[in-house]
Amino acid sequence: MIFHQYFLGCLSHASYLVGDESTRRAMVVDPQRDISGYLADAEAAGLEIERVIETHFHADFLSGHLELSEATGASICFGAQAEAEFPIERLADGQRISLGEVEVEVRATPGHTPESISLVVYERAGDEVPYGVLTGDTLFIGDVGRPDLTATEGASAAELARHLYHSLREQLLTLPDETRVFPAHGAGSACGKSLSNETSSTIGQQRYTNYALAPMDESDFVHIVTEGQPLMPLYFPYSAHRNKERRPLLDEHHRPAAVSPAEVLELQASGAVVLDTRDPSDFAAGHLPGSLNVGLTGRFAEYAGDVLRPDDRIVLVCDADHDLEAKVRLARIGFDDVVAALADPVSALMAHPELTERSSRLTAVELVERRRDSPDPMLLDVRNAGEVADGAIAGSVNIPLAGLLSRIDEVDRHRPVVAYCASGYRSSIAASALARAGHGDVSDLLGGFSAWRVLVES
């Protein structure tokens, strides 16, 4: 058997290539939208990709099923409950897919979504112990899939949680303890609340260490998996629907058009959003007014999806030769309308200082002084509820970044605002979003709550 796991850190997303060495037949499971890695590995191993299998309709990224099908002729497969705008092969519970010696068994595991499936992989047909199980978003390492992401589409979170309870206990925990577990996500994903940094485990390890698999009745399970979930990122419903649609394919090799500062301003004046992907410190030193700052070095696409709208036309400002990377990473969540990128940003901004402005970043010491010597600023905590529970700056207001656009009217326009997060990455995003919305006196806290806590405790 040929088995590859691909882990995309910026979206905490895992996908898989499974092939048979004897027949050279293969499948890809839960692919990311840019597919060159799968194609290269399949070509190197002499594999023919016959199927693209989705364990469910993903909400946190735009999947590459259409791109892979176009490139390889592979059929696109979903669980039996799936409905899509494009042709799909529906896989029934208990169905066996043979690649040769390698065999894959489909198990219906509804709960995270109604159509969710898991794939039990046997290195050789007839093996008593499977090689592993690809669990999608049904079972994670240390967690299980949240049941509330599709609750607006006809089934309540509690109803889906009840399905999840039975899927876990009747379809996955019936597998031998030695069976490896390969989920679709790891730590950092908003598809659960306490995912592990590990990217694989075993059924046995999860049986004894995963809080959601501990002995409990159905009602206790429903309560424990529905409470305390992080706020859903703003773009999730858009991406989930986009994954069901027949949509344009991604060209992952075509760079955005390079434009001058004057052309950027013209595009901005016509309604385009300037997205500056440089480090927050570089952004603060000088940027085009009205720009959003989402640093490319972090969870770029996810957080860009919190402060952009899916139909925004986007003009990029990137460090040298990173515009294509930014375009592809935005495309991974379905934000495709990247119309241009500023050519040679460092030289362009230095040559036109009259077109730039600086933004305010305060150290923890400066924040203490500002609160003492000037009108009391509104402290805006943009961390998630679970982070806030571990401590916060006294008097701060918590609006998680994912909820900022929908709650921006709660931020007082008549007071100075200081945004903070854990380290200073999300707070720069929030501060730039507030400035773009017309807030005149906005700063963010360098080093975030971590720096504040060190100061207070020293």
| 427-453 confidence digits (pLDDT tens) | 999 999 999 999 999 999 999 999 999
Check if the beta carbon of residue 429 is closer than 8 Å to that of residue 346.
no
| Averaged pLDDT for residues 346-357 | 93
Q: What is the pLDDT of residues 292-318, one digit of tens each?
A: 999 999 899 999 999 999 999 999 999
The pLDDT mean for the chain works out to 95
Domains, in order of start, for the chain: 2-242 (3.60.15.10), 258-355 (3.40.250.10), 360-457 (3.40.250.10)
| Averaged pLDDT for residues 29-35 | 98
Map tokens 């735009």 to a residue.
62
Least confident of 151-160, 276-285, 374-383: 151-160
pLDDT at 120 over 90: yes
352, burial (CB in 10 Å: exposed 0-12, middle 13-18, buried 19+): middle
pTM, two decimals, is: 0.95
Check if the beta carbon of residue 50 is closer than 8 Å to that of residue 19.
no
Least confident of 58-62, 187-191, 345-349, 380-384: 187-191
Task: Report the candidate in 97, 80, 84 with the shortest Cα–Cα distance to residue 28.
Answer: 97
Per-residue pLDDT band for 153 (boundaries 50, 70, 90) equals low
| Averaged pLDDT for residues 143-150 | 90
- DSSP strand E in 233-336: where? 258-259, 273-276, 292-293, 314-317
Per-residue pLDDT band for 386 (boundaries 50, 70, 90) equals confident
pLDDT at 155 over 90: no
pLDDT at 228 over 90: no
User: Distances in Å between the alpha carbon of 317 and those of 111, 353, 407, 442?
Assistant: 41, 15, 27, 21
pLDDT of residue 71: 98
Cα separation of 374 and 186, whole Å? Answer: 44
pLDDT of residue 376: 82
Cα separation of 220 and 349, whole Å? Answer: 57
Per-residue pLDDT band for 152 (boundaries 50, 70, 90) equals low
- Side-chain-side CA neighbours of 403 within 13 Å: the count stands at 16
Share of the chain above pLDDT 90, in %: 90
pLDDT at 403 over 70: yes
pLDDT of residue 401: 96
pLDDT at 209 over 60: yes
pLDDT at 52 over 90: yes
Per-residue pLDDT band for 417 (boundaries 50, 70, 90) equals very high
pLDDT at 231 over 60: yes
Per-residue pLDDT band for 330 (boundaries 50, 70, 90) equals very high
Per-residue pLDDT band for 373 (boundaries 50, 70, 90) equals confident
- DSSP strand E in 223-330: where? 258-259, 273-276, 292-293, 314-317
Share of the chain above pLDDT 70, in %: 99
pLDDT at 195 over 70: yes
Check if the beta carbon of residue 191 is closer than 8 Å to that of residue 197.
no
pLDDT of residue 151: 56
Per-residue pLDDT band for 242 (boundaries 50, 70, 90) equals very high
Per-residue pLDDT band for 361 (boundaries 50, 70, 90) equals very high
pLDDT at 260 over 80: yes
| Averaged pLDDT for residues 379-403 | 94
